[in-house]
């Protein structure tokens, strides 16, 4: 199984996806570099940051992204473009939207205009419409930041900028990052726009060209890259709430009537670690019904010809806890396509300083566990040399320099962990807590350990899979 295999004598392989699609190679070693993430999206080369324009159309998930086509650091902001049929295997296309006299191309969103409200459709394909910030400070002749539109009539392969851009004039400071959604009850387009400090604005439009301000919203301690979406509470489609999201991971839950968002919570932190500018896909079919999110997980990639990566795509849900309705996040089920070999323990006792995973190793890993804490003070996973520790007394989950409160349920915790060459992602108690840590892992250490410290715990479930690369 190569470098990704689990090294153990028990258990056979589980099979997996035969073949994948990825960007065309320009050299034999491309996508095999020492610190190239093997199942997280990275550009073929050069810098990326915010995910942009996430939209699903005719079997393809479109992922646009802030991209510097000419350098390894931030600059020359352009919309790069990749597509996927399964949210896991990505094929990078040519850049979609490039700088012009209005400025470089900052973050934004995209939708399918199913009813051609904009009048841009020319042909049988439904038109895809992208909203982005024209970053005037970086224009040939500097000017204020404004909001612009581009559209595609060929399934996102080529893009035409609207001749009367910008569609939203300058409002305040470096106002930017338009997120546009369709509000079905009022048959209206709604735009969430970042203004300044922790101030945001909702606007409405019938044709995507003329926009009317509706309401200013303050999301304390947050800035940039808003998102705005509706979710059922506890899976009940008859009981929904809207989530107003800020680019640093804070959000509020409330109601929306097409004109006014009424918060029911203060700003809530959704993550631990660097997980920035996250956005959700629009136009996922109702037959699927998921709200799927991806974010930028900033990290170091020493000596590489590319820079930065995105998180694994995650499914979002709203669930009710003692403290109220909260957003939860778990990896999309499509990650299962990468599973190769599996090691499983159905039940067993973890004792003081005694591990149960002796002889197991792997470079790319997925770990799913449920552990009864018993009387132990600590439960410790060590994944490729990196400890993931749960302190039972403090009810705290810890990894590297990050920690999060994690309350056990019936004295049990559940941990779902993904390990790539340059990151560890942890989803605890079915997504109630999520941690994103991006750093280059020790290439010489592929060991896996699990043990209790100062007491005994019990493994109720433990599955570890080796994963294969998405790049072929």
Sequence spans of domains, the chain: 41-311, 339-467
How does strand 365-372 pair with strand 423-428?
Answer: unpaired
Length of the chain: 472
Which among 453, 463, 375, 450 has a CA at the least distance from the CA of 418? Answer: 463
Instruction: Let me know if 266 is a catalytic residue.
Output: no
Task: Determine the CATH number of domain 41-311.
Answer: 2.115.10.20
* Helix, strand, coil share (%) of the chain residues, nearest 5: 5, 50, 45
Question: What is the C-alpha separation between 147 and 191, in angstroms, rounded?
Answer: 11
The whole-model pTM stands at 0.93
Identify the CATH homologous superfamily for domain 339-467.
Answer: Exo-inulinase; domain 1 (2.60.120.560)
Residues 381-393 have pLDDT tens digits of 999 999 999 999 9
The per-residue pLDDT of the chain, averaged, comes to 92
- Residue 12, pLDDT score: 24
Distance CA 424, CA 443 (A): 14
- pLDDT tens-digit map of 42-74: 999 999 999 999 999 999 999 999 999 999 999
Going from the C-alpha of 359 to that of each of 355, 362, 367, 457, the distances in angstroms are: 10, 10, 16, 21
Asked if 459 and 347 count as a contact pair (C-beta separation under 8 A), the reply is yes
Q: What is the pLDDT of residues 257-302, one digit of tens each?
A: 999 999 999 999 999 999 999 999 999 999 999 999 999 999 999 9
Domains 41-311 and 339-467 share a fold: no
Q: Find out whether 106 and 68 touch, Cβ atoms under 8 Å.
A: no
In Å, how far are 309, 312, 416 from 340, measured between CA atoms? 23, 18, 17
Burial (CB count <10 Å: 0-12, 13-18, 19+), residue 262: exposed
Q: What is the dihedral of CA 213, 78, 49, 165, to 10 degrees?
A: 0
Mean pLDDT, range 443-457, rounded to an integer:
91
pLDDT tens readout for residues 25-50: 454 488 999 999 999 999 999 999 99
Contact residues for 101 (Cβ-Cβ < 8 A; gap 6+) = 139, 140, 141
Q: How far apart are CA 367 and CA 309, in angstroms?
A: 21
């Amino acid at each position: 199984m190569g470098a990704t295999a689990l090294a153990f004598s028990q258990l056979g392989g589980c099979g997996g996806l035969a073949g994948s699609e990825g960007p065309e190679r320009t050299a034999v070693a491309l996508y095999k570099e020492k610190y190239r993430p093997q199942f997280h999206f990275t550009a073929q080369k050069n810098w990326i940051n915010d995910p942009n324009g996430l939209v699903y159309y005719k079997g393809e998930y479109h992922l646009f992204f802030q991209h510097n086509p000419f350098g390894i650091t931030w600059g020359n902001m352009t919309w790069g473009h990749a597509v996927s049929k399964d949210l896991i295997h990505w094929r990078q296309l040519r850049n979609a939207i490039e700088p012009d006299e209005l400025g470089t191309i900052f973050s934004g969103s995209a939708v399918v205009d199913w009813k051609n409200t904009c009048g841009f459709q020319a042909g049988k394909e439904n038109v895809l419409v992208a909203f982005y910030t024209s970053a005037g400070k970086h224009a040939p002749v500097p000017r204020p930041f404004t909001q612009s539109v581009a559209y595609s009539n060929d399934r996102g392969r080529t893009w035409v900028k609207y001749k009367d851009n910008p569609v939203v004039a300058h409002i305040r400071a470096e106002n930017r990052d338009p997120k546009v959604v369709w509000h079905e009850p009022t048959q209206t387009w709604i735009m969430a726009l970042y203004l300044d400090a922790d101030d945001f604005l909702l606007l409405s439009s019938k044709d995507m060209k003329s926009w009317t301000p509706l309401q200013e919203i303050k999301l304390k301690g947050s800035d940039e890259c808003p998102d705005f979406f509706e979710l059922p509470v506890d899976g009940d489609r008859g009981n929904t709430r809207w989530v107003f999201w800020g680019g640093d991971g804070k959000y509020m839950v409330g109601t929306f009537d097409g004109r006014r968002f009424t918060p029911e919570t203060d700003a809530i932190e959704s993550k631990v670690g660097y997980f920035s500018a996250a956005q959700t896909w629009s136009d996922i079919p109702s037959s699927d019904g998921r709200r799927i999110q991806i974010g930028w997980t900033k990290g170091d990639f020493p000596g590489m010809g590319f820079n930065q990566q995105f998180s694994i795509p995650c499914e979002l849900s709203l669930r009710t806890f003692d403290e109220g309705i909260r957003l939860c996040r778990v990896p999309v089920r499509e990650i299962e396509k990468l599973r190769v070999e599996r090691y499983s323990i159905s039940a067993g006792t973890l004792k003081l300083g005694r591990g149960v995973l002796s002889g197991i190793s792997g470079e790319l890993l997925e770990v799913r566990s449920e552990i009864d804490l018993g009387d132990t003070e600590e439960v410790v996973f060590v994944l490729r040399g990196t400890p993931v520790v749960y302190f039972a007394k403090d009810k705290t989950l810890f990894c590297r320099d990050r920690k999060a409160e994690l309350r056990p349920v019936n004295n049990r915790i559940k941990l779902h962990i993904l390990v790539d060459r340059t990151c560890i992602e942890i989803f605890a108690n079915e997504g109630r807590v999520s941690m994103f840590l991006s750093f280059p892992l020790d290439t010489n250490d592929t060991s896996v350990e699990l043990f209790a410290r100062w007491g005994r715990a019990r493994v109720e479930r433990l599955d570890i899979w080796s994963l294969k690369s998405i790049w072929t």
